[in-house]
Amino acid sequence: MGGSGPRTRCVVVFARTPPVEARAKGMPAAARLFACARARVLAAAAASGADVLLSAPDLVGSPPGGTVALPQRGRTFEERLRSAFADARALGYSEIVVVPGDVPGLRADHLREALRRLRACATVLGPSPDGGVYLLGVRGEYEGVLAGVPWRSRRVHARLLANAPGAAVLPPLADLDGHAHLRALRAEARLDAELALLVAALLARSASSPALTCALPLDPHRSPDACRPPPSLAA
């Protein structure tokens, strides 16, 4: 973290290691895709102009240069997310943007726009096609924004918007919560060759082995949306 004055803006990348993420999402063969997604999210965060914090329950090795490791605290997803906000605030940040590591289409311009919107709005949301969010930005108090949110459900974005009715809303981006979401990613604009090849290989694998899609043993931390098809991006 550079600069001569105090830094007040940060991007928190909230993620697990790729193999753990792949198993949790019911796609153990997709570790390479999750590694690609996480690397891209971290690169986008580094290019956003804000400081970068990597919040993970399973930190392995040193984070990328310029990135601060932020161990996750808490038993549930909600507890870990609240702790990430609290820890970022304790480091002196007042404008905090949190993104997961499983949105390969996330670019630096999305994050720069979120940070720009935070200057005028106290909350910024990036909706996912499945009703969740791929980005949550808060300036100042965050407890009210997070109150009563049914995390890991299709009602996350709606509840966050109800908690912060004046929130700025960014264009939707697809995340990776299961095999069905790969199709939404494949249809996304500006999908480059590397991602297209990884997604195509996984879709071909699941088509040839249908049992892999939803018949895997349940992981206690697995997303409940892993086998739900996402709504249309136009919805």
In the prediction, which pLDDT does 62 show?
65
In the prediction, which pLDDT does 6 show?
59
Does the pLDDT at position 88 exceed 90? yes
**Which of 207, 145, 151, 157 is CA-nearest to residue 180?**
207
Delineate the domains of the chain, giving CATH numbers in brackets. Answer: 9-169 (3.90.550.10)
Q: What is the mean pLDDT of residues 46-59?
A: 91
Angle between helices 31-46 and 108-118 (to 10 degrees): 50
Amino acid at the residue 233: L
β-strand pairing of 123-127 with 133-139 = antiparallel
Which residues on neighbouring strands pair with residue 69, listed in sequence order? Answer: 54
The per-residue pLDDT of the chain, averaged, comes to: 83
In the prediction, which pLDDT does 60 show?
62
- Which are the contacts of 142, defined by CB distance < 8 A and separation ≥ 6? 82, 85, 89, 96
Does the pLDDT at position 235 exceed 70? no
Q: How far apart are CA 156 and CA 146, in angstroms?
A: 10
Question: Residue 86 is encoded by which pair of tokens?
Answer: 């609290």
Does the pLDDT at position 127 exceed 60? yes
pTM, entire model: 0.82
Q: How far apart are CA 197 and CA 230, in angstroms?
A: 21
- pLDDT tens readout for residues 132-189: 999 999 999 999 999 999 998 999 999 999 999 999 999 998 888 877 778 777 776 6
Torsion of CA 123, 126, 132, 134, to 10 degrees: -110
In the prediction, which pLDDT does 57 show?
84
In the prediction, which pLDDT does 58 show?
74
Question: Residue 176 is encoded by which pair of tokens?
Answer: 């990776």
Amino acid at the residue 207: A
Do you know the residue count of the chain?
235
- pLDDT tens readout for residues 6-34: 589 999 999 888 999 999 888 888 999 99
Starting at the edge strand found earlier in the chain, the sheet holding 9-14 runs 67-71, 51-56, 9-14, 95-100, 133-139, 123-127, 168-169
In the prediction, which pLDDT does 102 show?
92
